[in-house]
């Protein structure tokens, strides 16, 4: 199956021009203190939902998020909890989200937008990443291949740069094929945008990748943020000062980003152990955990409040 054109040749030509005409004054930019920098520009019609570790804009027409945004810090790349693997409808959505029946028999993976691997530092964040509002139909070869590779690379960049801002989602257009009784749209492309807003190397990069298996390098799919805004109609990082936004979003310099990373990153050196909690039946919980307290995501002390919960609470 050949790669479909992303609107596509025009974007490629524009992106090549931006790549060749790199504006090096990026190194002269000074970061400002900007709250909720990762959140794209919203309208009154957007259904914005906040969680402990991410924010999303839910698109009822396509039954999935248009974007998911969050900050990822170096400390949060170290996994403390095993995958939940329990996909659940999101009752906070005004209408409805997809459910397991929508995916059954169609051959698509339940693909994360905010990856479970980015949420493994918190039991609450891990559980929330399995809401269907954070899930989109993905080809198995894409989800388990190049998309997973990009997710792992982004975690390494969070380690390299102390913290980064991430916005990710499907490219949603009218006329997409659908699956299930809830008519969940199957995107042809997914995007991921990363902003490093720390000195000494403030920089941004984006990727648009076809929803199919690919053996190409990730560099092939790199784009300026400007080009992804044109493709999606979303205004990213609009809270930046205008001159900074224009420069960061129009510049793409692959040399500023480290691509020679291991295939497996973000793994904790802590040993996996069986949860020490006792279930209602009187038996020991069978879940595995890296939590030093010895409890899995289901039995962790729920009084814990994360830094991000407090951060996103200020939006409500």
Give the count of alpha carbons within 13 A of 223, CB side only.
Answer: 26
Q: Report the run of H or E that residue 44 belongs to, with start and end.
A: none
Q: d(Cα 306, Cα 136) in Å, to the nearest integer?
A: 26
Q: d(Cα 266, Cα 156) in Å, to the nearest integer?
A: 7
Q: At what angle do helices 225-232 and 242-250 cross, to 10 degrees?
A: 90
Task: Provide the 10 A C-beta neighbour count for residue 140.
Answer: 12
The angle subtended at Cα 312 by Cα 110 and Cα 86, nearest 5°, is: 25
Task: Provide the 10 A C-beta neighbour count for residue 110.
Answer: 18
Strands 55-59 and 64-73: antiparallel
Task: List the one residue out of 115, 114, 121, 134 whose CA is nearest residue 77.
Answer: 121
Q: d(Cα 32, Cα 245) in Å, to the nearest integer?
A: 12
List the strands of the sheet with 203-210, edge to edge: 47-50, 55-59, 64-73, 163-170, 189-196, 203-210, 222-223
The two three-digit tokens of residue 124, written as one number = 């609450």
Cis peptide before 200 (omega within 30 of 0): yes
Residue 162, C-beta contacts closer than 8 angstroms, at least 6 positions apart: 73, 74, 198
Radius of gyration of the chain from its Cα atoms, rounded to whole angstroms: 19
Q: How many residues does the chain have?
A: 316
| Contact in structure between 169 and 65 (CB atoms under 8 Å) | yes
Residues annotated as part of the active site: 112
């Amino acid at each position: 199956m050949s790669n479909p054109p992303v609107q596509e040749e025009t974007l490629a030509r524009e992106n090549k021009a931006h790549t060749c005409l790199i504006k090096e004054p990026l190194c002269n930019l000074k970061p400002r203190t900007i709250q909720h920098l990762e959140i794209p520009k919203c309208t009154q019609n957007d259904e914005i939902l906040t969680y402990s570790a991410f924010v999303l804009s839910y698109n009822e027409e396509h039954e999935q998020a248009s974007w998911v945004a969050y900050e990822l810090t170096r400390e949060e790349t170290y996994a403390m909890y095993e995958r939940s693997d329990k996909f659940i409808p999101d009752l906070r959505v005004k209408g409805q989200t997809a459910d397991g029946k929508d995916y059954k028999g169609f051959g698509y993976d339940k693909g994360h937008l905010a990856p479970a691997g980015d949420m493994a530092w918190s039991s609450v964040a891990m559980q929330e990443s399995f809401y269907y509002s954070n899930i989109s139909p993905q080809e198995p070869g894409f989800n388990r291949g190049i998309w997973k590779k990009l997710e792992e690379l982004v975690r390494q960049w969070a380690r390299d740069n102390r913290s980064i801002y991430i916005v990710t989602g499907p490219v949603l257009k009218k006329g997409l094929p659908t699956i299930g009784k809830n008519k969940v749209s199957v995107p042809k492309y997914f995007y991921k945008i990363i902003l490093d807003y720390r000195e000494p190397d403030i920089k941004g990069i984006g990727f648009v990748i076809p929803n199919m298996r690919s053996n190409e390098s990730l560099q092939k799919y790199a784009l300026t943020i400007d080009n992804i805004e044109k493709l999606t109609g979303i205004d990213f990082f609009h809270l930046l000062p205008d001159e900074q936004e224009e420069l960061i979003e129009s510049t793409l310099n692959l040399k500023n980003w480290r691509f020679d990373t291991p295939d497996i990153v973000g793994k904790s050196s802590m040993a996996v152990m069986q949860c020490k909690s006792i279930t209602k039946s009187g038996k020991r919980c069978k879940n595995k955990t890296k939590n030093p307290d010895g409890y899995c995501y289901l039995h962790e002390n729920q009084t814990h409040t994360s830094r991000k919960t407090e951060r996103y609470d200020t939006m409500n």
